Structure 1
Amino acid sequence: MPEHALIAHFKLSDAGFGTPAERQDFMSLEPKLEAALKASGVGLFDGNEFGDGECVWYMYGPDADALFRVAEPIIREGRPRPGSFVVKRRGAPGDPEAKEETVQL
Structure 2
Amino acid sequence: QGGRRDIFLGARECQGYVEPCEFGSGIGFYDDYGEMSLGYMFFGFSYPDENTQHDLISKFWRPVMLDGVITFDKPDAQSLDCNVVREQQSVKEFVVGENFSLAQE
Query: TM-score, normalized by length of structure 1?
Result: 0.25
Question: Is the helix fraction higher in 1 or 2?
Answer: 1
TM-score, structure 2 as length reference? 0.25
Q: Which has the higher contact order (CA 8 A, sep 6+)?
A: 1
Larger radius of gyration: 2
